[in-house]
Amino acid sequence: MAHDDELALLRGADPVPGDDPRFRDRPLPPHAQRQLNQLLHGRQGARQRPARQVRRLVWGIEMVSLAVAAALALVLAGSSGAPAAAAAPRPLALRAGSTPVTLDRIADRAAALASAEGALRLRKGTHVQTWSLAIRSGPGSTAPVTLPEERVTSWHADGSHTELVVATDPRRPGEPVITDGDDGPRTVHDGKVLSDRTYPPSRGTAPPQSRPPHTPGALRTYLAELSHPGDRAPIARTGELLDAVAMFLRHWTPGARESAALARVLADAEGLRPAGAVTDRLGRGGQAYVHESDGLRRMLILDPADGTVLGLEHTVTRNDRTYGVRAGKVMSYSAWMR
């Protein structure tokens, strides 16, 4: 089935209207579920395809030390008179008058739900929406731009995995989307498939390939090994811990037990303060927890009901004259979905 046909099928099902965030977390109606299953699993003889998803972080979490090289809100006009597409998001704002919820309380709630019958289970693979900065150096380089993408990674029984990357910005459904190109940033239509690749089997025994544990102590060790492969030293800094969490979520979708363990690990971290309620970039309500270090502000967003990680925002906190970056500019944002 062609990519355009797949996108038409998904849009025809319309399980989640792009202009109404209130319905994002509701279950699909039966007809939409049937059509979505047909899209995900293909027709007879066709290989399995994942749902829509987001591309690699150009300024990925692994490169978070380069955060101060991030930049600028930008309105970019496409070539040949293409419509302008605004891509750079503003930092999320806290809800006025909201009461912060402590991480201890979130961890207690998550632990209670983890033992309940029918609790969500761990899944290898991810579905994430990202806004990430891209920058080019050298002659003819352009100013940094924010690239909005959706990525779905699905793993198969033989150890192989499929990754589908689509250019899309749910804040502006149907409008042109900025993407990266060989000749620099350009605009494409909403829903443009940027890549659809299947990778050969990988059966590593170290994080992130190995199955994550579901107790706080073991998960803390797992995240440390993920952050520093081959080094058993514990994570000493909270910023480093949050970066490891982001890497973990690029490979796994936690179940209730893993979310509870992670919430407890975060509750024990130093300098991660509760900031109040926010509405994330997909319209979901959450609680924000903030940590600042080395010119970077990390805002982690959790579902207050069960401790699920909803999003992570990186914002520059000081001016950098070398790159023309002003404090308050968003460097990257990730919004995870099930």
Would 321 be classed as within a structural domain?
yes
Mind giving me the DSSP string for 262-329? HHHHHHTSTT-EEEEEEE-TTS-EEEEEEEEETTEEEEEEE-TTT--EEEEEEEE-S-BTTTTBPTT-
pLDDT single digits (tens) 91-141:
999 999 999 999 999 999 999 999 888 899 999 999 999 998 776 555 555
pLDDT at 325 over 90: no
Establish if 192 belongs to a structural domain.
yes
Tokens representing 154 are 């699905």
Give the per-residue pLDDT at 133. Answer: 78
**HSE toward the beta carbon, residue 294, CA cutoff 13 A:** 12
Reported as type and span, the H/E element at residue 40 is helix 30-41
Q: What is the mean pLDDT of residues 151-157?
A: 95
Asked whether residue 37 is domain-assigned, the answer is no
Residue 12 domain-assigned (yes or no): no
Residue 38 belongs to some domain of the structure? no
Asked whether residue 67 is domain-assigned, the answer is yes
How many domains, in total, are found in the chain? 1
User: What's the confidence (pLDDT) of residue 253?
Assistant: 98
Which has more confidence, 157 or 140?
A: 157
Give yes or no for residue 145 having a pLDDT over 90: no
pLDDT, tens digit, 9 for 90 and up, residues 272-298: 999 999 999 999 999 999 999 989 999
CA dist list (Å): 15 to 24, 75, 162: 8, 31, 23
pLDDT at 231 (0 to 100): 81
The C-alpha angle with vertex 131 and arms to 224 and 234, in degrees rounded to 5, equals 10
Query: Does a structural domain hold residue 159?
Result: yes
> Which helix or strand (DSSP H or E) is residue 41 part of?
helix 30-41
Domain for residue 247, yes or no?
yes
Q: Which of 193, 197, 198 is nearest to 4 (CA)?
A: 193
What is the extent of the structural domain holding 224? Answer: 51-337
Provide mean pLDDT across the span 327-334: 90
Q: What is the pTM of this model?
A: 0.75
Q: Which residue did the predictor score with more confidence, 190 or 180?
A: 190
State the average pLDDT for the chain. Answer: 79
Please return the burial class of 12, using the count of CB atoms within 10 Å of its CB with bins 0-12, 13-18 and 19+: exposed
